[in-house]
Structure formats: C-alpha cells, structure tokens
C-alpha cells in the first residue's frame, strides 16, 4: 500500500492499493475511491466488536479490496490536526482512543488496559487505549500538531492531561499529583499530570479535542 497525505489543517490520506490488496477502515471513513474497490462490512466476532467499542471505535469496520487492477481510496480527517502513517512491523504502538483511521489487513488492533487504577482515573486517557501490532501500516488521526520525543531508558516527561497522542509499547505511563494545595486549586493545571517513562518514542498533540471544545464553548454560548 502506498499512502499520500495531503492538506492542512484537515488532511486526507490517499491510499493506493495493488490488485487484490485490502485495507481496513473505521466505519464511515471513506471520502472518495476508485470504482473497482469491493467493500465488505465486518465485525470480526463479538470479542473484537466489544474491544473496538471499549476503545472508542465503531463496532464494525469496512474492508476495501482492489479488484481487476490498482485501486485508490481516500479518507479525510474528522478533526483539525494531522494523519500519521506508521509501520507497526518496527514495534507495537499504543494510541489514544478514537485515533484509528485505517490500516493494512495484516495489522492487528486490540485494546490496551492501563495497569494502574489511578492512571485510568486521572491520566487523561481513561483505562483503555488502542494497541496496534503485527506487520504493516496503520493510519492514525492526531489532534492539532505533533511534537515527538525519543526517551532514553528511565528518562521521564510530564504531560498535561490529553496531550499524549501515542507512544511505543516500550514506554510506561503513570500519573503524578501536582505538588502544593495552592498549585492544585489555583494553578489551572488540574490535580494530576501524566508521567511517561522511556525507553521509546512518544507523540504529543498540541490541541486535544476536549481542550478545543472548552476553548470555543464560551463563544458558542455568547452566540446564542
């Protein structure tokens, strides 16, 4: 599969499939395609359907297969930000809920549970994230712009709630309470921060969807 990512701040991923090649997409992700793509909607079994529902995705996915020659399918972003093309053959990826856009048929998508109860309650991503493994390419949606860091073993970084877009599975995630009662109640940064420890690569997003919603809500109220 060959991928072109075009446009900003509402990008589109244009995927070129060889004859007989297939791609899995989130329900309703297709924006336009060539007429020789055959679509099949599948749940993949009750277990897979429930896993996708818990991770914030649709219970059903669409599989597009190119017939009688090369095919093309385009999927536009649903939120201002970026679309990233990653190869999970180089290592498993843990991503925020609702990040999935599309992947090759050889990529496995599962749920990733936070191991620590406190991280699930206060870490900003809840108990469940998405895990992508196997081999092949996956396309993921990110809110806002992306900043990446390569953490060394035992190197840590503190992240505000919601700014973690994804990380390699070699990283670990935890929470740390903001120190000082005055800082917690009047600092405007909340009570907890997310703590990521290396080794591994992390992808941080500059404008989480919930942050944008909070930023524009006063203007929507005024408009009424």
Sheet holding 93-95, edge to edge: 107-113, 128-134, 93-95, 164-168, 200-205, 146-151
Widest Cα–Cα separation across the chain: 66
> Residue 122: its pLDDT value, please?
47
If one counts every other C-beta atom within 10 angstroms of the C-beta of residue 221, the result is: 8
User: Which residues are CB-neighbours of 179 under 8 A, at least 6 positions away?
Assistant: none
74 preceded by a cis bond (ω within 30 of 0) = no
pLDDT bracket for residue 48 (50, 70, 90): low
The model's pTM is 0.81
pLDDT bracket for residue 208 (50, 70, 90): confident
> Residue 186: its pLDDT value, please?
45
> Residue 72: its pLDDT value, please?
98
* pLDDT mean across residues, the chain: 83
Tokens of 36: 């020789």
Q: Domain 2-211 adopts which CATH fold?
A: Double-stranded beta-helix (3.60.160)
pLDDT surpassing 80 at residue 161: no
DSSP 139-194: EEEEES-EEEEEEPTT-EEEE-TT-EEEEETTSEEEEEEPSSHHHHHHSSS-SEEE
Q: How do residues 106-127 score in pLDDT, each as one tens digit?
A: 999 888 876 554 444 444 444 5
Among 7-21, 27-41, 50-64, 158-172, the range scoring the smallest mean pLDDT is 50-64
């Amino acid at each position: 599969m060959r991928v072109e990512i075009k446009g900003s701040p509402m990008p589109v991923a244009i995927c070129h499939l060889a004859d007989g090649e297939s791609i899995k997409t989130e329900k309703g992700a297709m924006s336009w395609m060539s007429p020789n793509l055959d679509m099949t909607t599948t749940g993949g079994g009750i277990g897979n359907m429930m896993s996708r529902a818990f991770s914030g995705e649709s219970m059903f996915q669409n599989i597009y297969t190119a017939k009688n020659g090369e095919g093309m399918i385009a999927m536009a972003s649903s939120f201002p930000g970026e679309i990233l093309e990653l190869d999970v053959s180089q290592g498993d990826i843990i991503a925020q809920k609702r990040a999935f856009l599309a992947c090759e048929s050889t990529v496995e998508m599962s749920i990733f549970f936070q191991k620590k109860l406190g991280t699930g309650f206060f870490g900003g991503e809840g108990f469940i994230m998405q895990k992508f493994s196997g081999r092949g390419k996956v396309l993921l949606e990110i809110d806002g712009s992306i900043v990446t860091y390569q953490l060394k073993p035992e190197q840590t970084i503190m992240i505000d709630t919601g700014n973690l877009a994804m990380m390699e599975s070699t990283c670990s995630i935890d929470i740390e309470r903001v120190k000082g009662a005055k800082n917690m109640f009047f600092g405007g940064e909340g009570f907890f921060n997310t703590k990521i420890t290396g080794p591994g690569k992390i992808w941080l997003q500059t404008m989480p969807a919930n942050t944008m919603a909070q930023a524009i809500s006063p203007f929507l109220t005024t408009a009424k």
